[in-house]
């Protein structure tokens, strides 16, 4: 069997380690995410979801335990190796889409490719255009990001997350600021990408209706796994 996209082995996270104010926000978390799986991560505010997502996304390191991405023990990587693995393997979609307001939609989608390659090429623009078409926004790709609805902006953010053809997309409350119709539309788009491309998704949400439409639910309460 192929290695899972993500495997966490007894991951804990502490802040202010060794000090009187030491706080442990994650306790011995085990998690496995298979290729092509769409996993919902749920839990109350302050439960450790964001910390867990940051560790999976290689934006933070655990205090103890191991994190494997595509079979790679990330503790063995240099900072440069970690950045490269993150950039080529993981896409991010946030509740606040973090689009660059001064850029057009397609320019926002091009950004990860430009950062990786260092300069624009016809291939990069063609890739970005294909992704804009994929998310249903090909006809408005030259609009400024600020001249789009919230649902359209999240579709641009999804296209940007897919620019490097990642194995994994981490989606942190991507529908949290959207109305019901836009929320359903954005979720359906992510599900289509997941099923058509076998891209794995770790989807953080407070919306139980959406969570139940995922392949599996992983619940964290007070930094401990209680389901999944």
The region of weakest confidence among 117-131, 132-146, 152-166, 212-226 is 117-131
DSSP, res 166? -
Q: Is the pLDDT of residue 19 over 80?
A: no
68, burial (CB in 10 Å: exposed 0-12, middle 13-18, buried 19+)? middle
CB 166 within 8 A of CB 153: no
Of all residues in the chain, the percent with pLDDT exceeding 90 is: 80
Q: Is the pLDDT of residue 20 over 80?
A: no
Residue whose structure tokens are 């290729």: 35
d(CA 87, CA 58) in angstroms, rounded, equals: 10
3-state secondary structure of 188: helix
Query: pLDDT band for position 195 (50/70/90)?
Result: very high
Token digits for 2?
Answer: 């192929």
Q: Is the pLDDT of residue 228 over 80?
A: no
In this predicted structure, what is the pLDDT of residue 119? 74
What domains appear along the chain, each with residue ranges and CATH number? Answer: 6-225 (3.40.50.300)
In this predicted structure, what is the pLDDT of residue 227? 59
Q: What is the mean pLDDT of the chain?
A: 92
d(CA 144, CA 106) in angstroms, rounded, equals: 9
d(CA 48, CA 223) in angstroms, rounded, equals: 5
In this predicted structure, what is the pLDDT of residue 21? 76
In this predicted structure, what is the pLDDT of residue 40? 96
d(CA 32, CA 204) in angstroms, rounded, equals: 15
Q: Of 121 and 76, which is predicted with more confidence?
A: 76
CB 175 within 8 A of CB 183: yes
Mind listing the pLDDT tens digit for each residue in 146-179? 899 999 999 999 999 999 999 999 999 988 888 8
Of all residues in the chain, the percent with pLDDT exceeding 70 is: 98
In this predicted structure, what is the pLDDT of residue 122? 86
Mind listing the pLDDT tens digit for each residue in 202-212? 999 999 999 99
Strand pairing partners for 13?
A: 26
Q: Is the pLDDT of residue 1 over 70?
A: no
d(CA 206, CA 40) in angstroms, rounded, equals: 10
d(CA 206, CA 41) in angstroms, rounded, equals: 9
Query: pLDDT band for position 131 (50/70/90)?
Result: very high
Q: How many CB atoms lie within 10 A of CB 187?
A: 23
Stretch 203-222: mean pLDDT, rounded? 95
């Amino acid at each position: 069997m192929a290695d899972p996209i993500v495997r966490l082995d007894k991951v804990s996270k502490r802040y202010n380690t060794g000090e009187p104010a030491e706080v442990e926000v994650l306790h011995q978390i085990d998690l496995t995410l298979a290729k092509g799986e769409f996993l919902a991560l749920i839990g109350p505010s302050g439960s450790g979801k964001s910390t867990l997502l940051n560790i999976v996304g290689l934006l933070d390191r655990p205090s103890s335990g191991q994190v494997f991405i595509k079979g790679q023990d990330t503790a063995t990587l240099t900072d440069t190796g970690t950045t490269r693995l993150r950039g080529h393997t993981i896409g991010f979609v946030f509740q606040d889409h973090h689009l660059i307001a001064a850029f057009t939609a397609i320019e926002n989608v091009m950004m990860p490719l430009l950062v990786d390659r260092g300069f624009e090429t016809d291939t990069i623009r063609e890739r970005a255009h294909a992704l804009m078409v994929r998310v249903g926004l090909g006809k408005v790709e030259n609009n400024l990001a600020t001249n789009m609805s919230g649902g359209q902006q999240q579709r641009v953010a999804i296209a940007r997350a897919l620019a490097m053809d990642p194995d994994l997309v981490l989606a942190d409350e991507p529908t949290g600021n959207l109305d019901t119709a836009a929320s359903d539309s954005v979720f359906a788009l992510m599900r289509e990408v997941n099923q058509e491309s076998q891209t794995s998704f770790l989807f953080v949400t407070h919306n139980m209706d959406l969570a139940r439409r995922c392949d599996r639910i992983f619940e964290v309460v007070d930094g401990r796994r209680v389901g999944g």
